[in-house]
Amino acid sequence: MYFNQIELHNFGIYKGTHRIDLKDTFESRNVTLIGGMNGRGKTTILDAVFLSFYGKRALEYINDSKKYYDAFLREYINKSATDHTTYISVSFTMDDGTMFKVIRSWHHEGKKALEKLIVIKDNKEDSYLSDNWNFYVEEVLPFGISRFFFFDNEKISQIADDDSFEKIKDSIKAVMGVTIIDKLLEDIQKIVRDKRNSVQTAENIELLEEASNNEQVIRNIDIEIAKTNLEKARIIPQLEKAQAELEVTEQNFWKKGGNLGVKREEIEKEKSKLKNEETLLKQQIMDIAINSATPLIMCRDLIKQVYNRAKEDEIQRALRYSEPIINKILERLIKKIEEIFPDNEIHAQAKTLITDELAEYKSGVELKEKIVLEPVSLMLIERLLESGIFDIQSSVDSIKTKAEETDHAILQIDAHLNSNAEKSGAVELLHSIRDFERFATTLQGQVDKCLENIQTLENQKALLESQRQKIIKKLAQIEDVVDDDTRILSYAAKTEVVMNEFRIRLQKKKVHELEENITKCFRLLAQKETIITKVDIDPQSLDLTLRDYAGNQLLKSQLSAGEKQMFAISIIWGLALSSGYKLPVLIDTPMARLDSAHRHNFINRYLPNASSQVIVLSTDEEVYGRYLYQIQEHVNCYYTLLYNEQEKCSTIIPGYFEEGSK
């Protein structure tokens, strides 16, 4: 695709009709250079392209605030216009030669803006395309990838400042096609909700309620995951900054003799404190040693045997004391049997049975008592075995650990006091190191907690989604006769499973290609001595990791401002290459934050290679002088935005500032 013309009428700062005629690549001349001072309408041209293609959806890119579309359109109507109609149009030609012109016009009536969209195909108005443009434009130029081709370089700087890369993960998904899959899954779930309402059997009412609750919980989990990701993204830059400052402080600390800079008086006080703690610990050990229960710990097994034997003897005594009572009960029982059953044979059998049972009972009773303990003694032994020994052992272990730590600390202090290294400034550096370590540990703990929470939420979501699929299948199986709705529910459940698996596999496959494209673009744009040699992208989380020559991870804080900016441009360029679309590139404020060396690379390496058609919206402080000379062999036409102070409007004229037409 390439643009033929951009036309503005009473749009923003442009009063009347203004046209920018564009050309496809002429040999190596692929750049159209449009110059204008700040506030003269450069960004307005970029906004016009977005608005003409995407209408209301363009607000997501153009405007960061939450504003009504009608109010947005009214604001873009030129205040000095003599008529009440505003329109923007973009003409473009597809690779197969098909020509399109998209005209979006509006005028306001009261507080409303009445909008109309006309699409002209091959010089004929196409009403079908006009009515369905929002769907068709996704085939020509999907909204998810448009920002890789039409962008404000100042906004690209946000990627350079985003240490956690959270802001570009949606873009990576768009390039991989994952966004489309997510949208498909959303549509499938919507279909399931709609069709589920038509299944009205009494048996599935409970399942419907369960499915509704399930979906609400999943939505709540998605909200919590998004909040946690934002919290993690907020913490990571602070953590990386703290780690970098800790590293610098440690280097300075060791240069000054390490921890030898601590003042002797303070160290002596610390040693005295530790000695007092050591004395206190020894006293605690003595207190435990004189405890009447402590010696019993050494023979705990013997005490346990005594306790068990005493309990057994107690049982034997109980059995022996109950024997006379049992004998009397059995005698009465035999007499009653003789009275009830006159048969002598039954008497004999019953008497034999009772006598045998009594003999077996007496055999279990040992006549000799071995250990007799008072109940109070038995209770004290039981308490000692259950908790007393454990409490004493725990106290001993705790005191032993503290004593070892104290002894180790005293040895370190003694070694410190015996050293003669330079002490100047070391105390302050040591305090700073400890502060940074505590701060970094706290931040790392917060990041780990975020990751743990995200994983927990993801696991919960996966379980709920699995339950939802089972519910959908059950709903589909309830009806004896499979009608259209139940068949759709069944297919929707199967499709959801397949698309989730397809998304995982697609993401893994596309990640490698994107890594190579971003790395290749950065090597082309950055200086030869750049420390980045590779970019890794996690196929699951889409986290970006920078690697140096040794394959070690690089922090973004280690890059210069110019390298950060070029890396951000490399990401956009790599995403554009990976998208598979051949589209014009429209850049506003191209040289934002770039130093002279990186400006040279941007002019000579990016602009000639970014696309077959590159439209640059530049100030006179960006593409000028030697940079203009370097790029002019690639420029096929020039325009300047001329501002009229009297009318407060801009006009688009041929030529480029004082340089004139080339």
Q: What is the pLDDT of residues 156-180, one digit of tens each?
A: 766 656 655 666 777 777 777 777 7
The pLDDT of residue 173: 74
Identify the band that residue 396 occupies on the pLDDT scale cut at 50, 70 and 90: confident
469: three-class secondary structure by DSSP: helix
Amino acid at 120: I
Q: How far apart are CA 289 and CA 399, in angstroms?
A: 12
Tell me how crowded residue 301 is: count the other CB atoms within 10 A of its CB.
8
The answer to the question of residue 646 being in a domain is: no
* Weakest mean pLDDT among 114-123, 339-348, 457-466: 339-348
Residue 118 counted as domain residue: no
CATH of the domain at 205: 1.10.287.1490
313 close to 372: Cβ distance less than 8 angstroms: yes
Question: Is 601 inside any structural domain?
Answer: no
Across the strands, what pairs with 553? 547
Say yes or no to pLDDT of 182 above 80: no
Q: Angle at CA 439, nearest 5°, toward 433 and 443?
A: 140
Check if the beta carbon of residue 7 is closer than 8 Å to that of residue 52.
no
Q: Which residues contact 589 (CB under 8 A, 6 or more apart)?
A: 42, 43, 152, 153, 154, 617, 618, 619, 622
Residues 427-449 have a mean pLDDT of 82
Q: How far apart are CA 457 and CA 232, in angstroms?
A: 14
pLDDT at position 615, please? 93
CA distance linking residue 287 with residue 203, whole number of Å: 72
Mean pLDDT of 565-589: 85
Within-domain flag for 221: yes
Q: How far apart are CA 164 and CA 543, in angstroms?
A: 8
Would 628 be classed as within a structural domain? no
User: Coil, helix or strand for 107?
Assistant: strand
Vertex 659 angle, CA 657 and 662, to 5°: 115
485 and 438 in a common domain = yes
Last residue of a domain, one of 506, 530, 548: 506
Residue 515 counted as domain residue: no
Residues 252 and 316 in one domain: no
Q: Show Cβ contacts of residue 526 under 8 Å, excluding neighbours closer than 6 positions.
A: 532, 563, 566, 567, 570, 598, 601
5-9, 195-199, 288-292, 472-476: range with lowest mean pLDDT:
195-199
Examine residue 579 and state whether it is found in any structural domain, yes or no.
no
Given a cut of 90, whether residue 117 has pLDDT beyond it is yes
Q: Is the same domain home to 393 and 293?
A: yes
> Do 408 and 297 have their domain in common?
yes
Q: Note the pLDDT of residue 359.
A: 67
Say if residue 341 is in the same domain as residue 408.
yes
175 contacts 569 by C-beta, under 8 angstroms: no
Tell me: do 315 and 408 sit in the same domain: yes
Same domain (yes/no): 473, 358? no
> What is the pLDDT, as a whole number, of residue 481?
44
The span from the CA of 551 to the CA of 312, in Å, is: 70
Q: Which pLDDT tens digit goes with each residue over 518-575?
A: 888 888 887 655 667 788 888 777 788 888 777 888 777 777 777 777 888 888 888 8
Q: Are residues 380 and 306 in the same domain?
A: yes
- Looking at the fold, whether 404 and 443 belong to one and the same domain comes out as no
- Please write the tens of the pLDDT for every residue from 439-487: 888 888 888 898 889 889 888 888 888 887 887 777 666 654 446 666 7
Query: What is the phi/psi pair of residue 123, to 5°?
Result: 70, 15
Whether residue 455 is contained in a domain is answered as yes
Residue 332: which domain range?
Answer: 289-413
Residues 380 and 438 in one domain: no
Range of weakest confidence among 68-72, 184-188, 255-259, 411-415: 255-259
Q: Are residues 347 and 438 in the same domain?
A: no
For the chain, the average pLDDT equals: 79
Total number of domains constituting the chain: 2
pLDDT, tens digit, 9 for 90 and up, residues 23-54 = 766 667 899 999 999 888 999 999 999 999 99
Same domain, residue pair 408 and 442: no
Please report where in the chains the tokens 């919507």 appear, as a residue: 190
Token look-up 């369960």 returns: 210
Single residue among 451, 485, 506 that ends a domain in this structure: 506
pLDDT at 48: 95
CA distance 213 to 560: 50
Q: Show which of 506, 536, 563 is a domain's final residue.
A: 506
State the pLDDT at residue 561: 75
